[in-house]
Structure 1
Amino acid sequence: MEAPNILITGVTGYIGGTILTTLQNTSYPSLKNAKLSVLVRGESKAAFFRQKGIETEVIEGAGQLDLLRKVASNYDIIINPAFCFQTDAANALVLGMGDRVKQIGKELHFIQTSGTSNVGDRPITGRYYEDRIFSDNDDIFGYEVERNKKEPYPQRTTELVITKTGDEVGVKTHIIMSPTIYGIGTGFFNKISIQIPTLIRTALEFGQAEYIADGKEEWDYIHVVDLATLYETMLAKIVQGEDVPYGERGIFFSETGNYRWKELAQGIADAGKALGALKTNETKSITLEEARKLNPTNPEYVELGFASNSRTRAHKSRELGWGPTKTEKDWQAGFRDDFEAVLKGVVT
């Protein structure tokens, strides 16, 4: 694929912004001549990126499905961090690329951002328990189909729908599922993630870092810069014409390490105490009902996002040639970085 037209959504966000700056500074020869464009909401954001010399597409909201489809029909590759839970919006983009396939008969690719809460269990309520470590070489698509029959979940639904649509319209879909993301992003706007900053703000509000139940459940983590290089690696392979698994086999994990929720709370507590923002570095167990404050808009997702087991291994991602560089030391240092960002009022 020569000098592809690439569209990135969500570039004012944490993941999308970091992907954009990573690609702008790429060392891959195959990507240096790629034509990068961004999709943003509103003219004010569009003007910002145009001043940076970046081609810009503008929408007002995720509900403009016809416009999203039309925009997508102009691109060879779309990277979509924006619409993880907005199934119709993500699907409209894939349909638009399908229109382009009909027009030019060219191989097109759609890279979707997702998260490993999709394979998280519900150990506190007992509604679902998953005692396994998932590899991205497993049949993750098949697992998600069966899991969604038992418990529909918008982010998981988005994955399933766009994979099916991509197969129907001839677009190769790839999905990157990430665990807890930490570290300071390199984008122009939002610099921090959601999970850890949410817990930090709660610790500041209540004076103590908290975890749910016994906090023994286990998740994985990745630094946002390592995550962006996975997108970069995948994109380079695609542009170079190399085979990258797609469709039902095109689901990739991105872990680099793991933690237990009580350990995460301790990292927050230690960072807060060291910064003088918390009076104690002792942590506190709270009930799932008390934890509803972590996501008052969608409290049913609190167990998935802050108390579940979600253990994954990025075997297929590493087989692409992806080489994350951040270590356990970076993970530990990340608590202070995120805490300082929250104290400075950096938004997610």
Structure 2
Amino acid sequence: MSQPKSLLLVGATGFITESQSETLERNGIRSIVLEGGLDDSSGLTHLASQHDIVVNAATGFHAASARAFITGLAERKKSVSIDVFYIHLSGTSNLAVGDVTGLGGERRTFSDKDEDIYAHEAGVDACQPYAQRTADLAVIETSETLSVRAYIIMPPTVWGQGTGHFHRVSHQIPMLIRQALKAGRVEYVAPGSSRLGHVHVVDLASLFELVVARAIADPALPSGRNGYFFANTGSHSWLEVSEAIAKAGHELGVFRSMETVALSLSEAAPKFMGGDETRTEQTLASTSVIWPTMLYRIQG
């Protein structure tokens, strides 16, 4: 009978505080708080070296922490002579083409069984660096160098209410709602036809569980450059989302009308992403078409 695996789950509740840590402890979850957070590379490496599996669900935009986790896993593998692996949260905006600037390369339909996703990311990132995509490249290159199996999970827009103890809402749609409440009207980034797809947060969590289970059971599960897993379950345009927000807000008496207002990229960036036009476009004004072929395959 195989020995139980030890798993380090990073960012399960967001970036937790001491009080949140105590809540987790009461629910049987051992938590560790690093004062330096994801910037404490030596601390992250040490933590990872004490575990067989690292699931990094904190952020896909931090390449240095991904390298640190994989380095620690390599140390673990060397010291105890067991197989280790790393699972990394990313996003399909890495493969999207901007509907304002056209940046991102030629628009195409991707399947996660395609063998050139890494090459595509590397080519696009060389011309248009994007932190989340850069982190993917770091994951693959570091894992190959150190002989650690790595898997990248790529969700599109995540929606729905989570089931955890703390942070239960997603990012993009609540961000649009908060800005609408602030402005007194619903605003979106022109042209509004951009589509990134979507997945419910509970379905995304199930995919993480599935990949962990299959990686443990099957060392031949494609990893590294072939270890991408898409989490798409549907599609929407940002105009459709904006119209739904406007309709709900009007029915609740929050907005005077169901009007939606298009913003230019330069107008939207300060409101949604602190002035970062690249990230604003990648998140709210770009399009990708993806097929989660690997997901269906490993579900068996």
TM-score, normalised with respect to structure 2: 0.93
Say whether 1:8 aligns with 2:9.
yes
Give, in angstroms, the shift of residue 97 of structure 1.
0.2
AA aligned opposite 1:298: D
AA aligned opposite 1:309: T
- Contact 1:57 1:71 (C-alpha < 8 Å) held by counterparts: no
Say whether 1:207 aligns with 2:207.
no
Aligned pairs for 1:78-117 (under 5 A) are: 78-117=54-93
Structure 1 range deviating more: 105-114 or 264-273: 264-273
Give, in angstroms, the shift of residue 299 of structure 1.
3.5
Say whether 1:305 aligns with 2:280.
no
Partner of 2:89, secondary structure, is: strand
Aligned pairs for 1:1-348 (under 5 A) are: 2-13=3-14, 42-60=17-35, 61-128=37-104, 130-138=106-114, 139-241=116-218, 243-292=220-269, 293-296=271-274, 298-321=276-299
Give, in angstroms, the shift of residue 129 of structure 1.
5.1
1:106-133 CA-partner distances (Å, limit 9, x unpaired): 1111000001111122221234453222
Partner of 2:178, secondary structure, is: helix
Give, in angstroms, the shift of residue 279 of structure 1.
2.2
- Contact 1:83 1:89 (C-alpha < 8 Å) held by counterparts: no
Give, in angstroms, the shift of residue 300 of structure 1.
3.0
1:192-238 CA-partner distances (Å, limit 9, x unpaired): 11111111111112222222223122220000011111111111212
- Contact 1:237 1:243 (C-alpha < 8 Å) held by counterparts: no
State the number of aligned residues.
Answer: 296
Q: CA RMSD in A?
A: 1.7
Partner of 1:58, secondary structure, is: coil
AA aligned opposite 1:280: S
Q: 1:212 to 1:298 in 2, by over 3 A?
A: closer
Q: 1:284 to 1:153 in 2, by over 3 A?
A: same
Give, in angstroms, the shift of residue 191 of structure 1.
0.8
Unaligned runs of 5+ in 2: none
1:160-200 CA-partner distances (Å, limit 9, x unpaired): 11111111112100000110000001111111111111111
AA aligned opposite 1:238: A
Aligned partner of 1:19 in structure 2 is: none
Give, in angstroms, the shift of residue 82 of structure 1.
1.1
- Contact 1:220 1:255 (C-alpha < 8 Å) held by counterparts: yes
Give, in angstroms, the shift of residue 295 of structure 1.
1.0
TM-score, normalised with respect to structure 1: 0.81
Q: 1:201 to 1:216 in 2, by over 3 A?
A: same
- Contact 1:2 1:239 (C-alpha < 8 Å) held by counterparts: no
AA aligned opposite 2:21: A
Unaligned runs of 5+ in 1: 14-39, 323-348
Partner of 2:196, secondary structure, is: strand
Q: 1:150 to 1:232 in 2, by over 3 A?
A: same
Q: 1:301 to 1:94 in 2, by over 3 A?
A: same
1:295-343 CA-partner distances (Å, limit 9, x unpaired): 1153431111111112211111111108xxxxxxxxxxxxxxxxxxxxx
Give, in angstroms, the shift of residue 42 of structure 1.
4.7
Partner of 2:39, secondary structure, is: coil
